[in-house]
């Protein structure tokens, strides 16, 4: 079938919950994607910050193929070696103490929220605890994750959400303090807001929230699903600040394409929250997803992914700054981000620009109507940045 025929077939079979770009991708290599007609695209989307190692990494492919020939699934009634190795590597990379593997980022958030509420319940036996989240945040589409997502348009058709959630303003410490009371059991936010427009936490904000949590025995949950796994130049974005969460969530680059995620916690939280029977998953931590995680973490070290993010991320920032200055405030309002997670905020909606970039062989995505988001594979080079800037400027 040709491209249009495939798209027509998809539109007649798939639930229409996405307004997809009119491209059918067939394969990938490095930082490039190829559609079914063989057209090449430079990818600055990375499967929405998923393909950290780029496409067709040989060690990753070999590990998955070997695991398929052994065993893919056993259930969590039993141990499996890949999950044990993945947990060990993830603990080392994060400095956290306990790991629960999930199938997605949203499930990781669900588990984190349950752990926080159980922690509070075991302290005082109450079931009226509250969670403080941030406006303009995004944590996922399931009910718990959606309940702490600070964008009403995602929630309103599915009300009522889970109760006891209040929304503060990101990087406004006073707005958080105004909501804290004796029912507050957790404060959750993305260390760098992604869907909400690429807003990194300020040092003063994250340190201030950590202090509040320490003083009142409130759990700090940091969502690292998009900004974690090296994307900002440290393995997890909170490591840029030296502020450790009580619970953190991870996914996307954690498995680099195989469905997977995790929530991690300190030993203190682990010993005083979820117990046997409180939480579970059929597929989470299965050998296939686990070998993906273990291999990803191994490849990060071998390829010095963090070093590349720091170097190329700084270069990308310089080039986007220069482009913003060249085009002027009448076109681009702002540029912000960390590492290889950056955004350009335009005066007008960016949809037409992204469409034109696609036509010219560059894959970009938005973060809100007026923001182009840059989240390429973490193996991207300076030459790739130069090519991207050339196409983007032409299309703008």
The tens place of each residue's pLDDT in the chain, 396 residues long, gives 899 999 999 999 999 999 999 999 999 999 999 999 999 999 999 999 999 999 999 999 999 999 999 999 999 999 999 999 999 999 999 999 999 999 999 999 999 999 999 999 999 999 999 999 999 999 999 999 999 999 999 999 999 999 999 999 999 999 999 999 999 999 999 999 999 999 999 999 999 999 999 999 999 999 999 999 999 999 999 999 999 999 999 999 999 999 999 999 999 999 999 999 999 999 999 999 999 999 999 999 999 999 999 999 999 999 999 999 999 999 999 999 999 999 999 999 999 999 999 999 999 999 999 999 999 999 999 999 999 999 999 999
Peptide bond into 160 cis (omega under 30): yes
Bridge partners of 253, per DSSP, are: none
Q: How far apart are CA 187 and CA 208, in angstroms?
A: 12
Q: Say if domain 71-303 classifies as CATH 1.10.510.10.
A: no
The arrangement of secondary structure in 3-57+304-395, i.e. its CATH architecture, is Alpha-Beta Complex (3.90)
C-beta of residue 137 within 8 angstroms of C-beta of residue 151? yes
Q: How far apart are CA 23 and CA 46, in angstroms?
A: 15
* Both tokens assigned to 159: 């009300």
C-beta of residue 87 within 8 angstroms of C-beta of residue 295? no
Residues 6+ apart with CB under 8 A from 180: 132, 212, 216, 218
Residues 6+ apart with CB under 8 A from 211: none
Q: How far apart are CA 140 and CA 151, in angstroms?
A: 11
Tell if the pTM clears 0.95, that is, is over it: yes
DSSP 8-state code for residue 135:
B
Q: How far apart are CA 189 and CA 204, in angstroms?
A: 15
Where exactly does CATH 3.90.1150.10 map onto the chain? Answer: 3-57+304-395
Where exactly does CATH 3.40.640.10 map onto the chain? Answer: 71-303
Q: How far apart are CA 137 and CA 197, in angstroms?
A: 9
């Amino acid at each position: 079938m040709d491209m249009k025929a495939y798209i027509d077939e998809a539109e007649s079979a798939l639930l229409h919950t996405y307004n997809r770009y009119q491209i059918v991708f067939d394969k990938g290599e490095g930082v490039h994607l190829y559609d079914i007609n063989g057209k090449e695209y430079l990818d600055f989307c990375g499967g929405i910050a998923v393909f950290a190692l780029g496409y067709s990494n040989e060690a990753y492919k070999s590990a998955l193929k070997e695991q398929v020939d052994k065993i893919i699934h056993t259930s969590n009634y039993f141990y499996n070696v890949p999950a044990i190795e993945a947990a060990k590597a993830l603990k080392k990379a994060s400095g956290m103490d306990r790991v629960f593997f999930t199938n997605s980022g949203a499930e990781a958030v669900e588990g984190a929220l349950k752990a926080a509420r159980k922690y509070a319940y075991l302290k005082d036996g109450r079931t009226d605890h509250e969670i403080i989240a941030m406006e303009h945040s995004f944590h996922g589409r399931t009910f718990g994750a959606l309940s702490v997502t600070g964008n009403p348009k995602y929630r309103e058709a599915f009300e009522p959400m889970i109760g006891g959630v209040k929304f503060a303003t990101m990087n406004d410490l006073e707005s958080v303090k105004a909501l804290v009371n004796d029912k507050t059991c957790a404060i959750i936010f993305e260390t760098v807001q992604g869907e909400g427009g690429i807003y990194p936490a300020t040092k003063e904000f994250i340190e201030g929230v950590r202090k509040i949590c320490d003083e009142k025995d409130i759990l700090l949950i940091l969502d690292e699903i998009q900004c974690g796994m090296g994307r900002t130049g440290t393995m997890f974005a909170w490591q840029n600040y030296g502020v450790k969460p009580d619970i953190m969530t991870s996914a996307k680059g954690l498995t680099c394409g195989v469905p997977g995620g995790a929530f991690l916690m300190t030993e203190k939280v682990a010993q005083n929250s979820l117990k046997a029977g409180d939480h579970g998953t059929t597929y989470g931590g299965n050998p296939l997803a686990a070998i993906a995680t273990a291999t990803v973490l191994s490849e990060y070290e071998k390829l010095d992914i963090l070093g590349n993010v720091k170097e190329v991320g700084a270069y990308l920032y310089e080039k986007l700054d220069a482009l913003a200055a060249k085009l002027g405030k009448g076109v681009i309002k702002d540029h912000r981000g960390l590492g290889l997670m950056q955004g350009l905020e335009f005066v007008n909606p960016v949809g037409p620009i992204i469409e034109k970039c696609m036509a010219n062989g560059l894959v970009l995505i938005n973060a809100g109507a007026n923001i182009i988001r840059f989240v390429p594979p973490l193996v991207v080079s300076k030459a790739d940045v130069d090519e991207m800037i050339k196409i983007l400027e032409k299309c703008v």
